[in-house]
Amino acid sequence: MAVGFDIDDTVLFSSPGFWRGKKTYSPDSDDYLKNPAFWEKMNNGWDEFSIPKEVARQLIDMHVRRGDSIYFVTGRSQTKTETVSKTLADNFHIPAANMNPVIFAGAINRNKIR
């Protein structure tokens, strides 16, 4: 069976990285969400400040024990590199056989799909 999970504020409490991005790139607006520099940071290390949610850990553990294939989908914009997949695999103890690369479905990527 294949299962998919949303990342931000679903399996991870990722608000700390988003807060840092807002303070760093656009303190008075949400323009940081359109800034590629923010997404580079968020997708390459700022998830180290994200807190795994315990209920997500329990649910993912159940799927790992069953041998299910695990996918994570996010509304984040894709970047040239990313450490999100490794961070999720490490935080939730997902073996490589069960883990798939994160699917980035952010606004920047939607144009490529059409």
Per the DSSP assignment, residues forming a β-bridge with 3 are: 70
Round to whole Å and give the CA distance between 39 and 46: 10
Is 31 one of the catalytic residues?
no
Region of 93 (left: φ > 0; alpha: ψ -120 to 50; beta: rest) is left
Is 8 one of the catalytic residues?
yes
Active-site annotation holder among 6, 30, 61, 90: 6
Round to whole Å and give the CA distance between 69 and 95: 10
Active site members = 6, 8
